[in-house]
Amino acid sequence: MANMIEIKYPDNSRRVYESGVTAIEAMKGYTLPTDRALLAAEIDGVAVDLSTVLTSNVAINPLTFDSALGKEVYWHTSAHILAQAVQAVFPSAKLAIGPPIDTGFYYDFDFERPFTPEDLTRIEEEVHLIMKEDYPLKRIEFSQQDAIPVFQKRGEGYKVEIIESIDDPSVSMYQQGNFIDLCRGPHVSSTGQIGAFKVLSGAGAYWRGDERNPMLQRIYGVSFPTQKELDQHLILLEEAKRRDHRKLGKELGLFSVSEETGPGLILWHPKGAMVRHLIETFWREQHIKRGYEFVYSPHIARRNLWKQSGHLDFYQENMFAAMSVENNPYQLKPMNCPFHIMIYKSSLRSYRDLPLRWAELGTVYRYERSGVLHGLFRVRGFTQDDAHIFCRPAQLADEVASIIKFTFSTLRRFGFEYFEIFLSTRPDHAVGSDEDWQHATDSLKSALELLDISYTTDPGEGVFYGPKIDIKIRDVLGRAWQCSTIQLDFNLPLRFGLSFIGPDGKPHQPIMIHRALLGSVERFMGILIEHFAGAFPSWLAPIQVKVLTLGEAQTSYANDIMLQLAGHGLRAEADLRSEKMNLKIREAETAKIPYMLVVGDKEVTARTVSIRKRTKGQAGTMKLDTFIEMLKEEILEHSSSAITPTLSTNNSN
């Protein structure tokens, strides 16, 4: 009798097949909940080709373009098609890597020169021919030893280097037509499954992101099942270019980066510094309201501190080189955690003292390779909105729930309404007992369920020292950003021998919670610039009001207006130049100032102001006091943030 296996489907139905059935055969009896094409399958949480043979009881899930894993498979195949097209047009181009990314895919090539726009057009034409040919994608498995000659014969040195670095006796490749590439997969079944394809742009990129390695030529692309979806995406890309924080940061005078200072180190200009000040002031006020205390820590410490914390073992490649101080090695801090721990250790702690909630806007320094630096999003020096909570195990669920509510109210203050919550559990390599991990994970779940929050479980994606909750926001373009995190830590309290005296008079180990709401001030600022396209809401705008005079006769009244605005804590500038009013208005609009107060002889006589609102034009004439109260009410209205968030309806717990 043949060996039979049971297949479980997403609707909890089950079917029995003979062992050796393929994933696509097992999916034939299941009706997809969408009219999307079946791309691949997820078997017990792992994405696989549809040709994968099943030999044991499994849970199977269809992957279409509507799922994150489905998009990854789709875009991964598209990257292979791009690589095949490049080598068809430019046979001397050598393959490096071509992964899917959040917004499509790219492929890196070793080529003697940068690709021109004309080159990209030719490549895209070849892509469409490959799609039309509908080549099947065939998976081939080799031993590591036998795989090396395959790519040596093709002159693909980068692939040989990758194979030699793989700690696995077998490797897989995929072939489509006469093109073959080293790849783990999975992929769609054939090149004809890709519907609409666009080659976007070229750029330089160092091999493995290291400037000491050769400069490669990177080509970005994106693909969708339909041309309509692709066209909509291209419109969003154009809007994203318009909102690029690097471009707006320069145009609005918010920040800059100087080669003389060093890449990845941000210089904050007065207007950008004002926005940052407003963010940080709000942050501090809210922490005080919620029972946090502030601490400050130095920018360097003895290298031994980082050895004890484990950063030298796990994080050294992201740390700057040590410096010598009186023959002792010191290190720029990549994290704030060890300093807060040393403050904890400075006194004997009782269970009555806990929880201790310590917060710091602490600037840290991490060595990022120049090839990955990106405006405010990827820098070498940045300020974390860091906090650490030291608590007893019994306090854990309540503390986490409080942090989640704090996170939502903070993010809503900045205009973010949609959140996705992820609970990451124990990875394969972790410190701490099973009992500790279970208690910590249960505490995170309890906090989420107490607040009736939907969440997705990421099995095995916790950090080595404890489980965590990550919160993603979506901006006005629908892009997801990881900012907030809540991480439980058994490792550092153990490494540093932290304890508190319990009710039994004996020492006990506290649990440490690492917590960030914004992530880093720099990155969050970049997200805000792009979310608002530089047009900050009134409470956050560096200049809230611009006073514009028709001529010199209104100067005295304009100065009086400025004094009154300042007296009410409002940020204003006056344009008293002898220029045409249309020019003054246009410049104020370009600077994205929320309100303009136009002052002529009529306004001077009536002691009024003529109001123009950003992008909306004329908004009437009123007494200055009335305008001030209106603006203050607007700021106050935006300041009120409800605790209950708009949440993802996805619940995979």
From the candidates 386, 470, 475, 489, give the one annotated as an active-site residue: 386
**SS3 state of residue 604:** helix
From the candidates 357, 514, 546, 584, give the one annotated as an active-site residue: 514
Q: Which residues, 6 or more positions from 621, have their beta carbon under 8 angstroms from its beta carbon?
A: 603, 606, 608, 609, 610, 611
Active site residue 392: no
How far apart (Å, rounded) are the C-alpha atoms in residues 163 and 147? 8
From the candidates 183, 187, 337, 544, give the one annotated as an active-site residue: 337
Active site residue 119: no
Whether residue 78 contacts residue 194, with contact meaning beta carbons closer than 8 Å, is answered with: yes
Active site residue 366: yes
Sheet bearing 138-143, strands edge to edge: 138-143, 170-176, 179-182
Active site residue 243: no
**SS3 state of residue 623:** strand
Active site residue 269: no
Provide the token pair at 111. Answer: 């080529």
Active site residue 337: yes
From the candidates 87, 384, 395, 487, give the one annotated as an active-site residue: 384
Helix (H) or strand (E) holding 469: strand 468-474
Active site residue 110: no
Q: Which residues, 6 or more positions from 313, have their beta carbon under 8 angstroms from its beta carbon?
A: 307
Distance separating the N- and C-terminal Cα atoms of the chain:
39
User: Which of 14, 19, 531 has the alpha carbon at shortest distance from 245?
Assistant: 531
From the candidates 388, 412, 523, 584, give the one annotated as an active-site residue: 388
From the candidates 468, 531, 592, 614, give the one annotated as an active-site residue: 468
Assign residue 497 a region (left: φ > 0; alpha: ψ between -120 and 50; beta: otherwise). left
Whether residue 458 contacts residue 423, with contact meaning beta carbons closer than 8 Å, is answered with: yes
How far apart (Å, rounded) are the C-alpha atoms in residues 400 and 395? 9
From the candidates 349, 366, 515, 592, give the one annotated as an active-site residue: 366
Parallel, antiparallel or unpaired: strands 356-365 and 293-294: parallel
Mind telling me the catalytic residues? 337, 366, 384, 386, 388, 468, 514
